[in-house]
Amino acid sequence: MHLKHVLHLGVKELFSLLRDPTMLVLVIYVFTLSIYTRATAIPETLHKAPIAVVDEDRSPLSQRITDAFYPPYFLAPKVINQAEMDARMDAGLDTFAINIPPEFQRDVLAGRQPTIQLNVDATRMSQAFTGSGYIQTIINEEVSAFVQRYRTIPTLPVDINLRARFNPELNKSWFATVMGVINNVTMLAIVLTGAALIREREHGTVEHLLVMPVTPLEIMLSKVWSMGLVVLTASALSLVFVVQGWLGVPLQGSFALFLVGTALHLFATTAMGIFLGTIARSMPQFGLLLMLVLLPLQMLSGASTPRESMPELVQHIMLAAPNTHYVQIAQAILFRDAGLEVVWPQFVFLILIGTILFGFTLARFRKTIASMG
């Protein structure tokens, strides 16, 4: 293997990308505006939850409860009647609907334990859970406070002091932006290497390389380092200027260590891109394959929903995906300020996955390129 060949071929790849303005615009877009949109989309889980109140009591207490729901957690409650409630929930206008029965205040004060009905649209899983808990707490607090004015209620003096570490206000955009960068890294690594390989094959340039004193290993390595470098630089710039600068997310930990992790992830994903490029026989096939691969990587890596809640089988399978480990590395370093002593197992995983993918692809490379040329 000649390192010089790898260098020159890689520089050629960089030139190719530079001459493709559409791709450049798209790369810049996904690392700037797309991240920004994502960050500003969902500040918290329970944000502006649509809620409606059917107030059949019309008492100071029922009014007090209604007023207790306000932004940003909830949208200002819509006061509606019983008939509207079902229609609105059916149409998906409200996630929650509270029904306060007639004579509610009187019954509370008389200690008759009246029942408030809380309707939850359980198809909206994310809000349904957290939201109903919040609502119950709010109602209880409001009722207690109201009753306190009339009589004292004995309580146990045990308090629980809940603190969230690493993200004290549980600001969702912190997580969303970093995961956005991660998803982009994966998508770009695969598209830039895989689709570019198919394009080269459709235009006959790979074949041309193969008759020169250049080995498939050199061709692959040149693609891995050049495209890896592009994505690495873009993601680093995005983290510094967009995530930290523009969006003000306080990232912890050693940035250098995270970049090493990113580089390892890129090694694995660029190899995966080339691998897909050798499987697909045309661009339309590659497009479908891309979707087939990207979606599970994105949804099941732990970047969307917590890994531990997934079925065990899925958790095991996803151990073979580089994203799973990269997501863990990002969380550990950028949020929890963890060092190498913590993330080394993930580093080892990435190296292993990358090497296996790379080796397997290398074995296929010459054969598939030649037979489809």
Partner 1 sequence: MSESRFNAAEKTVARLDDVNLRYGKVRALANICLDVPAGCMVGFIGPDGVGKSSLLALIAGARKIQDGRIEVLGVDMANAAERRRILPRIAFMPQGLGKNLYPTLSVFDNIDFFARLFGQDRLERRRRIIELTRATGLAPFIDRPAGKLSGGMKQKLGLCCALIHDPDLLILDEPTTGVDPLSRRQFWELIGRIRATRPGMSVLVATAYMEEAARFDTLVAMDAGRVLAAGRPEEMLRQTGTESLEAAFIALLPEEKRRKHRKVVIPPLEDEIDGEIAIEAKDLTMRFGTFTAVDKVNFRIRRGEIFGFLGSNGCGKTTTMKMLTGLLPPTEGQAWLFGREVDPRDLDTRRRVGYMSQSFSLYSELSVRQNLRLHARLFEVPAEEIEQRTQEIAARFGLLDVMGKLPAALPLGVRQRLSLAVAMIHKPEMLILDEPTSGVDPIMRDAFWESLGELSRRDGVTIFISTHFMNEAERCDRISLMHAGQVLAVGTPDELAAQHGAKSLEDSFVAYLERAANDKGEERGEEMEDQTTSTGSRDNAHTGKPRLFDPRRMLSYARRETLELIRDPIRLTLALLGSVILMLVMGYGITMDVEDLTVAVLDRDQTAISHDYVLNIAGSRYFIEKEPIRDYQDLDQRMRAGKLALAIEIPPGFGRDLARGRPVSIGAWIDGAMPTRAETIQAYVRGMHAHWLSRKAREAGHGQALAGLVNIETRFRYNPDVKSLVAMVPAVIPLLLMLIPAMLAALAVVREKELGSIINFYVTPTTSLEFLLGKQAPYIALSLASFLLLTLMAVTLFRVPFTGSFAALTLGALLYVSAATALGLLLSTFMRSQIAALFATAVLTLLPAAEYSGMLDPVSSLEGSARLIGEIYPTTHFLTISRGTFSKALGFPDLWNAFLPLVIAVPVLIGLSALLLKKQER
Binding to partner 1 by CB under 8 A, coded x per residue (else -) over 186-205, reads: -x---x---xx-xx--xxxx
**Residue nearer to partner 1 on the CB measure, 140 or 355:** 140
- Contact residue for partner 1 among 3, 83, 160, 256 (CB under 8 A): 160
Q: Within its chain, how far is the Cα of 292 from the centroid?
A: 17
Q: Which of residues 230-289 bind partner 1 (CB under 8 A)?
A: 281-289
Residues 6+ apart with CB under 8 A from 36: 242, 246, 247
Residues 40-79 touching partner 1, rule: CB under 8 A, are: 40-50, 75
What does the alpha-carbon distance between residue 78 and residue 166 come to, in Å, rounded to a whole number?
Answer: 36
Residues near partner 1 (CB under 8 A), total: 147
Determine the 3-state secondary structure of 150 from DSSP: coil
The distance of closest approach from Cβ of residue 351 to partner 1 in the complex, given in angstroms and rounded to an integer, is 20
Provide, rounded to whole angstroms, the least separation between the CB of residue 63 and partner 1: 15
Q: Which residue has the tokens 């409860």?
A: 65
Residue whose pair of structure tokens reads 């989309």 in the numeric block: 41
Rule CB under 8 A: choose which of 16, 32, 244, 254 binds partner 1: 16
Peptide bond into 72 cis (omega under 30): yes
Distances (CA, A) of 327 to 44, 235, 241, 299: 20, 14, 20, 11
**260 or 307: whose CB is closer to partner 1?**
307
CB of 344 to partner 1, least distance (A): 11
The three-point CA angle 294-314-30 to 5° equals: 20
Window contacting partner 1 (CB under 8 A); options: 4-12, 238-246, 259-267, 347-355: 4-12
Q: Rounded to whole angstroms, what are the CA distances from 34 to 172, 179, 351? A: 16, 12, 29
Q: Interface residues for partner 1 in 78-117 (CB under 8 A)? A: 87, 89-92, 95, 108, 111, 113-117
How is residue 272 written in tokens? 């995966």
Site string for partner 1, 307-326 (x = CB under 8 A): -xxxx-xx------------
20 versus 84: smaller Cβ distance to partner 1 = 20
- The distance of Cα 123 from the centroid of its chain, to the nearest Å, equals 20
Residue from 58, 70, 82, 140 in contact with partner 1 (CB under 8 A): 140
**Using CB under 8 A, which of the segments 237-245, 256-264, 270-278, 333-341 binds partner 1?**
333-341
Tokens of 198: 């198919």
Residue pair 17/229 in contact (Cβ under 8 Å)? The answer is no
Told to check if 215 binds partner 1 by CB under 8 A, we report yes
CB of 178 to partner 1, least distance (A): 9
Backbone angles phi, psi at 53, to 5 degrees: -125, 130
Among 119, 237, 246, 255, binds partner 1 (CB under 8 A): 119
- CB closer to partner 1 out of 63 and 298: 298
Residue in 245, 248, 337, 340 binding partner 1, rule: CB under 8 A = 337
Least distance between partner 1 and beta carbon 45 (Å): 5
How far apart CA 204 and CA 55 sit, in angstroms, is: 72
Are the C-beta atoms of residues 284 and 262 closer than 8 Å to each other? Answer: no
